[in-house]
Structure 1
Amino acid sequence: MIVDVATYRDGRRHEVPDLPAALRACRQDGPGPAADPAQEDFLWLGLKDPTAEEFADIAAALQLHRLAVEAAVEGHQRPKIEWFGDTVFVVLKVLAYFDETSSVETAEIVLFVGRRFVVTVRHGAVGALTGVRSAVEQDRRRLARGPQGVLHAVMEHVVDGYVAIDGELERDVEEMEEQVFSPSRSSDAERIYSLKREVLEVRRGAFPLVAPLKKLVDAGAGEQPARGPEDAHHPADVQALFVLRDVLDDLVRTVEHVETYDRLLTDILNAHLAQVSVQQNDDARKISAWAAIAVAPTLIAGIYGMNFEHMPELGFRYGYPVCVLVMLTVCATLYRLFKRSGWL
């Protein structure tokens, strides 16, 4: 269940020999007014797919809200940022793109951010935060911001993943557009639909995060009046606010691109279906034209193939070559007519 745990003090990592004691220490001063995060140590606890029983002791020690705990354990939540007392509850969708299958896989990260602790809960096979923790540990400025520095780093990591997938989707959509409008015939409807599903998956992860992240940025910039607990989580300095604004800009840009891809794929699918319909009509006309050409000699041969005794021209010496010549003439005439009308 526990992926990694450490406390951070004076910009350095310290191992945790006694986790229950460390959890209790995070709350021993109570939920009073936030001090300078650079002057306080904090705990970062990383979990992977914990059960309700496994998470119960942690939730009790850190005084986490029951509804937030249930959401964190069950997973499958909509991306959000909410405040429960003096604790920020954040749900993020992590997306990973696989070149082999051109598919997007989704995972989930839940964060509890308090005055002296960060708890990250991960659901899914992708979205490991090992690299994020390592980067934060090497950046003393982020560590000096305390739990908020960790929150910003995780959000930046997740949104950077969105930006990377945005570029992959752009290439896939361009390739699909070229393929649909190429002269060669291919069956692309299934591939277009699959790509639309991937675009929708990215939109589901990115779009719901825009409003709460904008609220967080606006609060940090002083554009909203003080409203209570959330004011304890303003960015610690201007640099932190710039990080959040960059993350928000990347997120909004990705959402705009994804919505454009969705509309473009709809147009590509409609164009593909129109091409299929036109091609089917062309095929039907060609089949009909060749069938009409085949009917004429078949009709003549069928008439003279009847073995009646008193049929005209049966005794005509040149009947056979004349009959073949008539068949060829009729077929050639019909072919020219169909060719001129565009059916062949």
Structure 2
Amino acid sequence: MLTSYALAEGRLVVRDGILPTADLARAVWIDLLNPTAEEERAVQAALRLEIPTREEMEEIESSSRLYREDETLFLTANFLHGVEGGEYGSTPITFVLASQALVTVRHQTPKAFAVFALRCQKSPGLLASPDAVMLHLFEQIVDRLADILERIGANMDRASAAAFRSAKAKVKADKRDADLRGALITLGEVGEVTTRASETLLGLSRILTFVGAEKATAVRKENQPLIKTLVRDVRSLVDHAGVLNSKANFLLDAVLGIINVEQTNIIKTFTVASVALMPPTLIASIYGMNFSHMPELNSAWGYPAALLLMILSAAAPILYFKRKGWL
């Protein structure tokens, strides 16, 4: 899908599909989502540059992701997507910054792109130049990541508080197990999101460093302060993601400790029951033997005496465990 954004007399013009070469050449931002071969050829003909393939976008070497050809910058990084649907993932997105237009090549749709497109309709000034589009888009991505980290941090606090509250209070086992299970799921999500968010922030940091080194020719003077602001925001989010990840690991250890304590109590109950039943089982086994000479079998007091002996032999271990503080 090809979407072009252009300014005409101060107003935003958004058009979908392949356009004539002259119209595409006037666009400030060209967004390619899962582009077809025809769409790639149309953009290449209009801007006279090569669009990287998906295989080239997925290269992990820095030299393959950040490079310059003549006056055009090719910038690729992995970006977090799918947070709303719960199916987290990272997708490579390439920003081709040319003097006449910005081209974005992607195969997924992070929400920041949709939000930024709506912002452009309200504020066409964001599309004043290709470098302004790219930097404002980065700004939207950073804002989106900040919202995501803030939300998962709040979710983690609520889940951990519910788990600890259930562990301290005398609640039903089903309720306690549900709270502990919910806390484990939430902590797993926090780890997944913070890891992928950190990957996105690392990619942005590399891009901004590369653009900063090329800013004299790639970024207009009025937009250069945005680079410093973005670098500062990215660093603060990296620190915040690290704190969330550390906190999630600590809470994960605590929740697993609570689960281990619960399991230990259950195993201790079964152990005490097994030990308490061993002496009565031994007595019952003895009197279940088929020997001819067992005086108690012919006595009126034999049966009650055997029952009393089994009860006493079962009570003795329980009293011993309580005295030792094991129960």
SS of residue in 2 equivalent to 1:296: helix
Residue 317 of structure 1: CA displacement?
Answer: 3.0
Q: Give CA-to-partner distance per residue, 1:147-192, whole Å, 9 cap, x none.
A: 1221122111111111111112212322343355341344465654
Match of 2:312 among 329, 336, 341: 329
Amino acid in structure 2 at the alignment position of 1:200 = T
Q: Give CA-to-partner distance per residue, 1:97-139, whole Å, 9 cap, x none.
A: 22x74x5354554322222222222311444745424433543
Cα pair 1:163 1:254 within 8 Å, conserved: yes
Structure-2-length-normalised TM-score: 0.79
Give the structure 2 partner of residue 32 of structure 1. Answer: none
Please list every run of 5 or more consecutive structure 1 residues that lacks an aligned counterpart in the other structure.
27-40, 220-228
Residue 278 of structure 1: CA displacement?
Answer: 3.7
Give the structure 2 partner of residue 104 of structure 1. Answer: 88
Structure-1-length-normalised TM-score: 0.75
| 1:16-35 matches, cutoff 5 A | 19-23=20-24, 26=25
Amino acid in structure 2 at the alignment position of 1:160 = D
Q: d(CA) in 1 for partners of 2:313 and 2:189?
A: 50
Give the structure 2 partner of residue 38 of structure 1. Answer: none
Give the structure 2 partner of residue 70 of structure 1. Answer: 52
SS of residue in 1 equivalent to 2:221: coil
* Cα 1:204/1:319, change in 2 over 3 Å: same
Amino acid in structure 1 at the alignment position of 2:21 = P
| 1:189-268 matches, cutoff 5 A | 189=184, 192-214=187-209, 216=211, 230-237=215-222, 240-268=223-251
Q: d(CA) in 2 for partners of 1:14 and 1:315?
A: 108
Q: d(CA) in 2 for partners of 1:192 and 1:82?
A: 38
* Cα 1:233/1:84, change in 2 over 3 Å: same
Q: d(CA) in 2 for partners of 1:212 and 1:112?
A: 12
Residue 49 of structure 1: CA displacement?
Answer: 0.8
Amino acid in structure 2 at the alignment position of 1:213 = L
Is 1:2 aligned to residue 2 of structure 2? yes
SS of residue in 1 equivalent to 2:289: coil
**Residue correspondences, number:** 309
* Cα 1:216/1:294, change in 2 over 3 Å: same
Give the structure 2 partner of residue 287 of structure 1. Answer: 270
SS of residue in 1 equivalent to 2:21: helix
Q: d(CA) in 1 for partners of 2:279 and 2:109?
A: 67
* Cα 1:136/1:258, change in 2 over 3 Å: same
Cα pair 2:215 2:224 within 8 Å, conserved: no
Give the structure 2 partner of residue 222 of structure 1. Answer: none
Give the structure 1 partner of residue 157 of structure 2. Answer: 174
Residue 295 of structure 1: CA displacement?
Answer: 1.4
Q: d(CA) in 2 for partners of 1:289 and 1:243?
A: 68
| 1:113-132 matches, cutoff 5 A | 113-127=97-111, 129-132=113-116
Please list every run of 5 or more consecutive structure 2 residues that lacks an aligned counterpart in the other structure.
168-175
Amino acid in structure 1 at the alignment position of 2:31 = G
* Cα 1:297/1:162, change in 2 over 3 Å: same
Cα pair 1:111 1:120 within 8 Å, conserved: yes
Is 1:136 aligned to residue 131 of structure 2? no
Is 1:152 aligned to residue 135 of structure 2? yes
Cα pair 2:297 2:303 within 8 Å, conserved: no
Give the structure 2 partner of residue 36 of structure 1. Answer: none
* Cα 1:308/1:155, change in 2 over 3 Å: same
Cα pair 1:313 1:319 within 8 Å, conserved: yes
Q: d(CA) in 2 for partners of 1:128 and 1:195?
A: 20
Cα pair 1:9 1:42 within 8 Å, conserved: no
Give the structure 1 partner of residue 81 of structure 2. Answer: 95
Match of 1:308 among 279, 284, 291: 291
Q: d(CA) in 2 for partners of 1:138 and 1:194?
A: 34
Residue 55 of structure 1: CA displacement?
Answer: 0.6
Q: d(CA) in 2 for partners of 1:73 and 1:334?
A: 70
SS of residue in 2 equivalent to 1:253: helix
SS of residue in 2 equivalent to 1:97: coil
| More displaced 10-residue stretch of structure 1: 114-123 or 175-184 | 175-184
Residue 212 of structure 1: CA displacement?
Answer: 3.0
Cα pair 2:2 2:39 within 8 Å, conserved: no
User: What RMSD in Å do the two structures reach over aligned CA positions?
Assistant: 3.2
SS of residue in 1 equivalent to 2:294: coil
